[in-house]
Every structure is written in structure tokens, then in C-alpha cells.
Amino acid sequence: MLENIFTANFLISLLASTVRLATPIMTPALGQIYTQRAGILNLGVEGTMIMGAVTGFAAASFTGSLWLGLLGGMLTGMFWSLIMAWLAITMRANQVIAGLGMNILGAGLAAYIYRVIFGVRSLPPRITPFQGLSLPGLSDIPVLGPILFQHNALVYLSFLLVPLTWFILERTTLGLKIKAVGEHPRAADAKGVNVLGIRYAAVLIGGLYAGAAGAFMTIAYLNSFTEAVISGRGYIAVAVVIFARFLPARAMWGALLFGFASALQMRLQALGVDIANQLLLMLPYIMTIIALIIASNKAEFPGAYTIPYSRMER
């Protein structure tokens, strides 16, 4: 058994899966960094992702274009988070319940939309998902090539979001404003920053990322839609953000850790290891709890985290 695990092939496929499985956790986590830095806890990521997954899949199968599928997922993600933003920012509702409601509604609506569009079939509808790109030169490097450079385009785009997110947050005025409304909205308001507007923007960017990640699941990871397609990844992404202390690079490493846990479970199962696969399937969820245990005490939450802002209250 052990000799099967410590082979080059096993390790290479394990690490390649790690990168691929980290993507749908890293992307929404990066988006949530904007949202949470602006002081909004959007627990509705799970629902946003499943809405992105179903519309991405529907758009791709009707237009035949995977890129239009991705666009559909992104726009749906933005629309879905717009409702969340309205509840949390304008209506100043409790963000935890608002997020929960958006998740329950999203799960129901996604299943409904799927049933209405595709009906009940004996064979679920499938599409041809994004294929791995072979990058001349890079893909042929032994070991590193298969691990890092044989993925599909969306994986690379997602990893490009890491420096982009860092750049926007740390080097642009938009980033500065996002952090200001999250830390001290009253001071930001006094400085002439449109607190509500910036918070809306931060939630919408988060929705865009989450919608893209949802679409990734149906058009670049799987080739079909099921109701269990997201299965907690949205919540895990929120945990990763806290684990990463709201920093994009750390979020990437956190997501890779979760990607590794999922990949390990799949690869061990494929090898037929003598551990019941139900126990292996628990791995990412147990890790999420451990990550929260390690990180929550140390995390420096933004000053106005989950507190709605109004000029009329002090």
C-alpha cells in the first residue's frame, strides 16, 4: 500500500489535483476579501456559487460557448450578491441570517431553474468542459509541468487574481476606500468617501468572483450540474478568508491546503486504500474547523466588521 503512495505518479497527480481543486475555493475567498475588508460578512457565498454554477452551465450549453457560460456565472453572482448587499447595507439586516437566507433560496432556485430548463432526463445533460492547455515548453518540464502547467485556462486566470486582488487592495484608491469603510466608516464618511457605495461595490466584486467559481465547477471541473455541486465550498471559502487574515497571498495558500485535502481524499479513494471513503470525505470539513480554531483568535477583524452604517446613529 505505502509503496503505491510514494510513487512519482501518485504524487504528481495528487499535487496537480490540489491545484485544480484549490481554484473553486481560492476564487470566492479572494472575492470575500474585498467584501469582508469593507466590513460585510457575506455568508451567502454558497448560494451565490450554486447560482453561478447553474447559470454558467445553462449559458454554456445553450450558446455552446464556455466563455459565455463563465460570463453568465459572473453576472449571476453579481446579481445574487446585489440582493445580499441590499439586505445588509440598505436594509441593515442581520448579515448572518441574510446570508443563510440567500443560501437556502439559492439552493432551491438553482435546483428549480435546472429542472425547468432541462427537465427530468435519464441521462443528465453534459457539456464539453474547458480542456487543459499545453503551454509550449512549460508543460513538458518533468514533474513541474504536469503539476502546474497542464491546467485549463480558468485555473490560470484564478491564480492571476491573487496578485490582482493584492494590487487593487493595497495600491489603488478603491482598495484604500474599501479598507477605510471597513475599519472606520464614520471617519471615511467625514473624508467624503461614499460609504454605502463602496460597500455595495465590495459586495458586488465578491459576488463576481463567487459566481465565476460556481461556473468553474460546472464548466471547467465537472461537465454537468448536480444539486451537490458546491457542497460547502462557499462556507469553506469564508473560513479561508478568516484563516488568511484577509490577505490574498495567504488565502491562496489556505485554498491550496483545502485543495490538498480534497485531492488526497480522491486519490486515496482511487487507489482503493483501506479507509472507508466516507471518512476520507470528511477531511476538508474537519480541516475547515481546525483552520478556524487556529486562526480565529489571532485574526484582526476589520473595526466595523458586520456592523451596518448609518449617518444618523452614533
Partner 1 sequence: MRISLGKTRGKIVGAVVMVAAALLIGAVLMLLSGNNPLEAYRALVFGAFSSRQRVSELFVKLVPVMIMGLGVSVAYRAQLWNIGAGGQFLLGAIAATAVGLYVKLPPALLAPLTILAAAAAGGGWALLAGLLKVKFHANEVITTLMLNYIANYFLKFLVYGPMMDPAGQLPQSALLPEGIRLRQIFPGLRANYGLIIMVVALILTALLWRSAVGCRINLIGQGERVATYGGVNVRRVVLLTMFISGGAAGVAGWIETFGLQYRLMENMAGSYGDIATVVALLGALNPYGIAAASVFFAILLVGGAGMQRMTNVPYSIVDVIQGLIIIFVIAGVVGREGRPGKRPGKQSSKLSSKQPSKLSSKEPGRRERDA
Give the residues lining the site for partner 1 (CB under 8 A). 43, 83, 87, 91-109, 111-112, 115-116, 184, 231-232, 235, 238-239, 242, 276, 278-279, 281-282, 285-286, 288-289, 292-293, 296-297, 303-308, 310-314
Cβ nearer to partner 1, comparing 180 with 220: 180
Distance in Å, CB of 51 to partner 1, minimum: 11
Q: Grid coordinates representing 107?
A: 439552493
Cβ nearer to partner 1, comparing 62 with 112: 112
- Angstrom distance (rounded) from CA 182 to CA 307: 9
Cβ nearer to partner 1, comparing 135 with 183: 183
Cβ nearer to partner 1, comparing 126 with 311: 311
**b/e per residue 78-89 (b: at least 16 CB within 10 A):** bbbbebbbebbb
Burial of 297 (0-12, 13-18, 19+ CB in 10 A): exposed
Cβ nearer to partner 1, comparing 209 with 305: 305
- Angstrom distance (rounded) from CA 304 to CA 50: 29
Burial of 3 (0-12, 13-18, 19+ CB in 10 A): exposed
Distance in Å, CB of 284 to partner 1, minimum: 8
Distance in Å, CB of 277 to partner 1, minimum: 9
Q: Grid coordinates representing 180?
A: 477605510
Distance in Å, CB of 93 to partner 1, minimum: 4
Distance in Å, CB of 62 to partner 1, minimum: 16
Angle between helix axes 233-243 and 248-271 (nearest 10 degrees) is 130
